[in-house]
Amino acid sequence: MFLPRQYKRLKRGPQVILPKDIGMIIAYTGIGKNSVCIDAGTGSGWLAVALARVSKRVISYEVREEFIKIAKRNIVIENLDNIEIKQADVSLGIDEVDADLVTLDMPNSEKVVEHAFKALRGGGYVCGYLPHIEQLRLFSEEMGRAGFCELDAYEVIARDIQVKSNGTRPSTKGVWHTGYLAFGRKPLVEGR
């Protein structure tokens, strides 16, 4: 499994979102240096760190103290000062408003879609990282009910290629399926 050099120095506790999926999230949503991102389900903090590298500010919600400790170590390793981690249950609500992106990587994330809608500015995106196809369906249905438009879902497959003097071919090792990404966009004007 390919990991860019900067990820190899990060600590890992709970399952992480890998660079292939992180890249899709950043590219699809178009976040940049003026973007505010909310990340729910901090885990080891890999996604929060990646978002902080390219955006103005990241607020990350996590309920488990042991995960927060790992994520904070990764923030220090990366020397980032634009990430705030909140120990809070995001299913009870999101404090922020006018965010450009809300990512949900947590069990029962479909139950947080309505909170995400309220936290986003018009034109902002929600992204669910979902390990099972059944969760993808529930999440997508909930996005539709909440009022999101431009609903899309993807699975990002990346294969290592073995390049050798006697022949080049795809590797038979590695992680192909990691999760499904579901995206929705809050309409610029509600109801459209």
We report the CATH number of the domain holding residue 44 as 3.40.50.150
Tens of pLDDT, residue by residue, the chain (192 residues) = 556 566 656 666 767 788 889 999 999 999 999 999 999 999 989 899 999 999 999 999 999 999 999 999 988 888 999 999 999 999 999 999 999 999 999 999 999 999 999 999 999 999 999 999 999 999 999 999 999 999 999 999 887 788 999 999 887 776 677 899 999 999 997 554
Strand pairing category for 120-130 and 180-185: antiparallel
Residue 191 lies in a domain: no
Domain that holds residue 163: 5-182
Q: How many whole angstroms separate alpha carbon 97 and alpha carbon 36? A: 10
Residue 43 lies in a domain: yes
Q: How many domains does the chain have?
A: 1
Residue 189 lies in a domain: no
Residue 151 lies in a domain: yes
Provide the pLDDT for residue 157: 86
Q: Which two tokens stand for residue 92?
A: 């009870």
CA–chain centroid gap for 43, Å, is 11
Residue 28 lies in a domain: yes
Alpha helices (runs of H) in 4-158, residue ranges in sequence order = 5-8, 19-29, 46-54, 65-78, 113-119, 133-146
Residue 169 lies in a domain: yes
Residue 36: strand pairing partners: 57
Residue 187 lies in a domain: no
Residue 192 lies in a domain: no
